[in-house]
Amino acid sequence: MAVPKKRTGHSAQGHRRSNWKASKPEITKCPTCGAAVLTHTVCTACGNYKGKPVSIKDRQEESVKEVKPAKKTSKKAEKAETSETTVKPADSETVEKTEEVKAEEVKSEITEESEEK
């Protein structure tokens, strides 16, 4: 291993470290909220980068805002939609029976898959 022959003096050490200094970080203002932000980083206050939402939370909020109201429909179309959307109340017995049938179908599919293996 290399070992220096002589100790480095304070002056030589200072000359070597003369360019080794801290720099002031560049700060800009966020275009959407006006908060101070480091350059080329996402705003911690609003989650935007270059005026566009980056965080998942902001994307969801923006998608809700972009939903446009539906076009006005005629009275005939409204009546047709309401007649289609009316739901008849189901008997609790029929609901239970359909759930039991679905459970049996799932069980039979599982047993068929295990038999195939």
Residue 108, judged by CB atoms within 10 A of its CB (0-12, 13-18, 19+), counts as exposed
Q: Of 21, 20, 38, whose CA–CA distance to 29 is shortest? A: 38
Q: Is the dihedral of CA 97, 102, 106, 111 positive or negative?
A: positive
50-71 residue pLDDT tens: 888 886 665 666 666 665 555 6
Q: What is the 3-state secondary structure (H, E, C) of 4-21?
A: CCCCCCHHHHHHHCCCCC
Average pLDDT score over residue span 25-45: 92
pLDDT of residue 13: 94
